[in-house]
Chain A
């Protein structure tokens, strides 16, 4: 039981240190007394006896220390002593300590926060079993302008892929869908986002329902009876989590659906807005389900063990080529492409997130360099003290350890505050970042804590090691001599500090340039011209259930009645209908041919996005007529086969020709029809961040049923447009109380939604850059002030010998601006690289935007000059007599 005994001793030593120390003291005292007694017995006088004893005993303090050093917990005692000493020295310069702690708090806090999000969104595996085996398979279109294009898949292609390939264990498909969920009892109707999933989707993903079952193969057919699975959130919200809902009917678009299962609460794929799942095949009209040219679905595939995604997709590609040849008249891709499912989920946020993480990392590095610089300055001013302690026997290791403890203390304080800050910052970011995928998995966990701890140690090393080694480096004598002569001497340390300063400025420039580019992109987006009026416009979206509104006459009657009622609401200037408003997103393309022209040779067919409108739309939205005419009022009532195109369409397909009177042959699913172009109107953007697309407009009331899914009523108001939302909804309800409205938004809000995430990243990066600029300024000022203090005597002598004060000013300024210039040059080169890396999230800005570069360099130079000028002016005012006396 020796170990038990040792533990007992160790514990006694831990808890009775003071008593043990007293006993040791007593023990040594006894030894000394015995020696004195012996000496006295040999005939020495008491005084001599004592002195001889002490001589032979050696340094009692040292003996005591050596004995104590064998004790357990000695390391703890040393640490505590170092910490106490470090705290005392830090408290002696509270300003320095406060600045350093705050700087590191911001740096570590922001980095931890971004890491928490990046880990949850980009690094954690998807919540499905063996999720690394899941890939998304797409049709591969070759676009001459943008290269490879991942295109969504047609239902018919998916059915053939699944049946005829073997590389994947299984393949499933899903597509988005929308429903009007009407009350089972007397509840209000609501629009729910839905998805159609093939019956095997949940087994491919590895998801089991918490209640009931998933769809059967038999239910996943066009003609099968209606069944539905509820997501957990709808189950809780609408049905109070009552499990007896299984087997009951709910009403979607006035059809009854039998509830067969409830999905687990963590299942939010593809996003949390999807509320119900129905069988895939049932979301298609029969002809569309059989068409190879209508691309609507996403395909999820699980790899067979031992088969690579490349090999499995190659087989699909080969099949796709056969399909391409077999359906030459339809837009069918020549081959297929895949993307790991995790990449697919985070596609839109990966670059912005990595940019933000790099930006905070950059800021943390700058903060580190700054603290390091401040520590070097302090170490230098304590050089004499350190040298004296070195001369008295302090080991170099102990001195380095002491200084490292100091840097560790600062970093630990900054880091723990930063961790608190990051909890708030993460919560804020996750709630302000719209459409951030997987945001439900964001949480502070062990790995984040480990990351922060690592970060603290790393920053402590980065910030502390250089000053610690440099200040204890030279021989003791050298240091003592040097510190008695303040001229020159510390040239090597000045060099070190200038190098760190150069690095700091280079990093700041990189951050500034990137921030400038992002900010300019954002300004572009905010001021982007949608091509129509956006002030005082309210949009209200609604959908007519196909079951009740099954003839064009009923649809026309409803729309006309609604427009008529809305136009009579006080405060309404004008109202019109459109299938999707400008800025409201991309709704897919229609493919067409131009009669009399040879068919295009590439897989990219002539295509244009389509919008359906009522005749007053262009005048209400102030979209200019360039050529030809608008639709006339009577053209909405029957199908006249007329179309209006936008300017981009005319330029793209009829360059140098007059498109008026030309015909386009459009494939409406299986039947093709000719439309005559009667007008050309100005361009509008479907997304402010995307280039204009060729667009065709058709009359909404003319009964092109395939194009009239949901409708948006656009209202221009004389008053605050939001004040009109309730009156408009009342008029809708008066016409048909079962029709819910959704997305009641002003045009300004639509613009805000699409620019929200750019807004957020631009603002954040700009904030980081501004902070870094401030840090660089503080660093520059600190270094120069220190150098001036070091050279007080030298400058004093120069002035005494007749140097002009302006000359002194010039020398000190140049001294400071030289590392700035070097840092600027390096930073601009780095900034160009960074700009290139973030090219994909820039909008309307080149990575080498001269205005941004000039503005950012200007900012930096201004900060640098201010930071240098203060110490320079102070140097030029040195009184020679005072300076020389201080020597």
Chain B
């Protein structure tokens, strides 16, 4: 099982931004979503999820809004800002460059 520290440096931001790019989600849902999509390989610890969310919010890349969940409880929903969308583009681009490079090395030797 992957630990947060096993994530390539900086990828947590990318994962979060990507996960909420379609619709606003609360913290729990973000963690759950990452876990499901990655077939349980990536398990985001709360210890790094929430600092990351707050950091992104301070940066102005995501914004938070309190609204009701399906169970009727108030929760904090995060969504992308325009700046966040641009940041996601940049992160995706740099990720694809990095993963391509790593693939080249891994398969080329």
Which A residues are within 8 Å of any B CB, using their own CB?
2, 5-6, 9-10, 13, 23-24, 26-28, 30-31, 33-35, 57-58, 62-63, 66-72
B100 interface hit (Cβ, 8 Å):
no
- Using an 8 Å CB-CB cutoff, how does the interface string of B71-86 with A read, 1 for contact, 0 for none? 0011110000101000
A55–chain B nearest beta-carbon distance, Å: 12
**Cα distance A67–B58 when bound, in Å?**
11
Q: What residues on A are CB-neighbors of B54 within 8 Å? A: 24, 67-68, 70-71
Question: Which residue from A28, A68, A70, A72 sits with its C-beta under 8 Å from B46?
Answer: A28
Interfacial residues of chain B within 12-38, with CB under 8 A of chain A in the complex: 26-28, 31
On whether the beta carbons of A2 and B60 are closer than 8 Å, the reply is yes
Interfacial residues of chain B within 50-80, with CB under 8 A of chain A in the complex: 50-55, 57-60, 66, 73-76
On whether the beta carbons of A23 and B58 are closer than 8 Å, the reply is no
Q: What residues on B are CB-neighbors of A68 within 8 Å? A: 54
Taking CB as reference atom, which chain B residue is nearest A10?
B58
A151–chain B nearest beta-carbon distance, Å: 74
**Cα distance A411–B81 when bound, in Å?**
47
**Cα distance A24–B27 when bound, in Å?**
11
On whether the beta carbons of B60 and A66 are closer than 8 Å, the reply is no
**Cα distance A33–B72 when bound, in Å?**
13
**Cα distance A68–B74 when bound, in Å?**
21
B60–chain A nearest beta-carbon distance, Å: 4
On whether the beta carbons of B76 and A63 are closer than 8 Å, the reply is no
Taking CB as reference atom, which chain B residue is nearest A59?
B47
**Cα distance A71–B51 when bound, in Å?**
9
On whether the beta carbons of A63 and B47 are closer than 8 Å, the reply is yes
A-B contact pairs, 21 of them (CB 8 A): A2-B60, A2-B83, A5-B60, A5-B83, A6-B58, A6-B59, A9-B57, A9-B58, A9-B60, A23-B66, A24-B50, A27-B26, A30-B28, A31-B31, A33-B73, A62-B47, A63-B47, A63-B50, A67-B54, A71-B54, A72-B58
Q: What residues on B are CB-neighbors of A9 within 8 Å? A: 57-58, 60
On whether the beta carbons of B46 and A27 are closer than 8 Å, the reply is no
**Cα distance A67–B51 when bound, in Å?**
4
B94 interface hit (Cβ, 8 Å):
no
B45 interface hit (Cβ, 8 Å):
yes
On whether the beta carbons of B51 and A70 are closer than 8 Å, the reply is yes
Most buried by B among A10, A26, A66: A66
On whether the beta carbons of A27 and B45 are closer than 8 Å, the reply is no
Categorize the interface residue count of chain B.
20 to 34
Give the tally of cross-chain contacts (CB within 8 A).
65
Q: What residues on B are CB-neighbors of A71 within 8 Å? A: 54, 58
**Cα distance A31–B76 when bound, in Å?**
10
Q: Given A5-B83, A34-B28, A35-B28, does the pair A27, B50 have CB atoms closer than 8 Å? A: yes
On whether the beta carbons of A28 and B47 are closer than 8 Å, the reply is no
Taking CB as reference atom, which chain A residue is nearest B71?
A37
Q: What residues on B are CB-neighbors of A33 within 8 Å? A: 73
Q: Given A30-B28, A35-B28, A58-B45, does the pair A70, B58 have CB atoms closer than 8 Å? A: yes
**Cα distance A841–B58 when bound, in Å?**
65
B23–chain A nearest beta-carbon distance, Å: 18
A775–chain B nearest beta-carbon distance, Å: 49
**Cα distance A5–B54 when bound, in Å?**
15
Most buried by B among A26, A33, A34, A63: A34
Q: What residues on A are CB-neighbors of B58 within 8 Å? A: 6, 9-10, 13, 70-72
Q: What residues on A are CB-neighbors of B59 within 8 Å? A: 6
Question: Which residue from A2, A6, A13, A27 sits with its C-beta under 8 Å from B27?
Answer: A27
B32–chain A nearest beta-carbon distance, Å: 8
Q: What residues on B are CB-neighbors of A67 within 8 Å? A: 50-51, 53-54
Q: What residues on B are CB-neighbors of A2 within 8 Å? A: 60, 83
**Cα distance A9–B58 when bound, in Å?**
6
B20–chain A nearest beta-carbon distance, Å: 15
Q: What residues on B are CB-neighbors of A30 within 8 Å? A: 26-28, 73, 75-76
On whether the beta carbons of B27 and A31 are closer than 8 Å, the reply is yes
On whether the beta carbons of B75 and A27 are closer than 8 Å, the reply is yes
Q: Which 4 residue pairs spanning A and B have beta carbons closest together?
A: A67-B50, A70-B55, A34-B28, A5-B60
Having A9-B60, A30-B26, one finds 17 other A-B pairs with CB under 8 Å, namely: A5-B60, A6-B59, A10-B58, A13-B58, A26-B74, A27-B76, A28-B46, A30-B27, A31-B28, A31-B31, A34-B28, A62-B47, A66-B51, A68-B54, A69-B51, A70-B55, A71-B54
A272–chain B nearest beta-carbon distance, Å: 61
**Cα distance A10–B47 when bound, in Å?**
23
On whether the beta carbons of A66 and B47 are closer than 8 Å, the reply is yes
A69–chain B nearest beta-carbon distance, Å: 7
Q: What residues on B are CB-neighbors of A62 within 8 Å? A: 47
**Cα distance A6–B60 when bound, in Å?**
6
**Cα distance A2–B66 when bound, in Å?**
22
Q: What residues on B are CB-neighbors of A26 within 8 Å? A: 74, 76
On whether the beta carbons of B83 and A58 are closer than 8 Å, the reply is no
**Cα distance A62–B50 when bound, in Å?**
11
**Cα distance A31–B27 when bound, in Å?**
7
**Cα distance A26–B69 when bound, in Å?**
14
**Cα distance A69–B51 when bound, in Å?**
7
**Cα distance A777–B57 when bound, in Å?**
58
Q: What residues on B are CB-neighbors of A31 within 8 Å? A: 27-28, 31, 46
B46–chain A nearest beta-carbon distance, Å: 5
Taking CB as reference atom, which chain B residue is nearest A33?
B73
**Cα distance A92–B57 when bound, in Å?**
41
**Cα distance A33–B71 when bound, in Å?**
12
Q: What residues on A are CB-neighbors of B52 within 8 Å? A: 70
**Cα distance A250–B41 when bound, in Å?**
104
Most buried by A among B46, B48, B57, B74: B46
**Cα distance A35–B29 when bound, in Å?**
11
Q: What residues on A are CB-neighbors of B46 within 8 Å? A: 28, 31, 57-58, 63
